[in-house]
Chain A
Amino acid sequence: MSEQHTRRAVDIGLLRQSTGATWRATPVIMRQVILALLPGIVLYAYLIDARVLLGLTIAVIAALLFEAMVMWLRKRPVTSRLGDGSAAVTGVLLALSVPPGLPAWQLIIGCGVAILLAKHVFGGLGHNPFNPAMVAFAVLIVSFPVTMTDWPMTADPVARVALGDPAGTWDAMTSQTPLDRYRAHARITTGDTVFTLSSPGTAWVVIALAWLGGGLWLLWMRVITWHAPVALLVSLGTCHGLATLISPTAMPIGIALLGGATLFGAFFIVTDPVSGAATPRGRLLFGAGVGVLTFLIRQFGSWPEGFAFAVLIMNAAVPLIDRLDRPRVR
Chain B
Amino acid sequence: MTDIDTHALIVDGLWRRNPALVQLLGLCPLLAVSTSVVDAAALGLATLLTLLVANLAVSLLRKHISEAVRLPLQILVIAGTVTLLELLLAAWLPRLHESLGIFLPLIVTNCLILARTEAFARHHTPDRATIDALATGAGFALALLALGAVREIVGQGTVFAGLDKLTGHTEALPGISLFAAEHGLVLAILPPGAFILLGLMLALLKPGR
Q: A-side interface residues toward B, CB under 8 Å?
A: 109, 117, 121, 139, 142-146
Contact = CB atoms under 8 A, between A and B. Distances in A.
Interface residues of B, number: 9
B182 A139 contact: no
Which one of B182, B185, B196 has the greatest number of beta carbons of chain A within 10 Å?
B185
B183 to A, nearest CB: 8
A117 B190 CA distance: 16
Contacts of B196: 117
B73 interface: no
A298 B11 CA distance: 53
Interface of B: 182, 184-188, 190, 196, 199
B182 A143 contact: no
A141 to B, nearest CB: 10
Contact of A146 (B182, B187, B190): B182
Nearest to B199: A121
A142 B186 CA distance: 7
B179 to A, nearest CB: 11
Given A117-B196, A143-B186, 15 more contacts: A109-B185, A121-B199, A139-B185, A139-B187, A142-B186, A142-B187, A142-B190, A143-B184, A143-B185, A143-B187, A143-B188, A144-B185, A144-B186, A145-B186, A146-B182
A139 B187 CA distance: 7
A142 B182 CA distance: 12
Nearest to A145: B186
Nearest to A116: B200
Nearest to A105: B183
12 contacts: A109-B185, A139-B185, A139-B187, A142-B187, A142-B190, A143-B185, A143-B186, A143-B187, A143-B188, A144-B185, A145-B186, A146-B182
A30 B196 CA distance: 29
Contacts of B182: 146
> Considering the complex of A and B, which 6 residue pairs feature the smallest CB-CB distances, nearest first?
A143-B186, A143-B185, A143-B187, A142-B187, A139-B187, A142-B186
Candidate in A143, A144, A146 with the most chain B CB atoms within 10 angstroms: A143
Contacts of B187: 139, 142-143
Contacts of A143: 184-188
Contacts of B185: 109, 139, 143-144
A109 B185 CA distance: 9
Contacts of B186: 142-145
Contacts of A142: 186-187, 190
A109 B184 CA distance: 12
A116 to B, nearest CB: 9
A146 B183 CA distance: 10
A139 B190 CA distance: 11
A142 B185 CA distance: 8
Nearest to A109: B185
A146 B184 CA distance: 12
B202 to A, nearest CB: 12
Contacts of A144: 185-186
Nearest to B154: A143
Contacts of B184: 143
B132 to A, nearest CB: 35
A121 B196 CA distance: 11
A16 to B, nearest CB: 32
B198 to A, nearest CB: 13
A20 to B, nearest CB: 38
A135 to B, nearest CB: 11
A246 B188 CA distance: 40
B157 to A, nearest CB: 12
Nearest to B182: A146
Contacts of B190: 142
A109 to B, nearest CB: 7
Contacts of B199: 121
A273 B131 CA distance: 55
B136 to A, nearest CB: 29
A121 B190 CA distance: 20
B99 to A, nearest CB: 23
B93 to A, nearest CB: 32
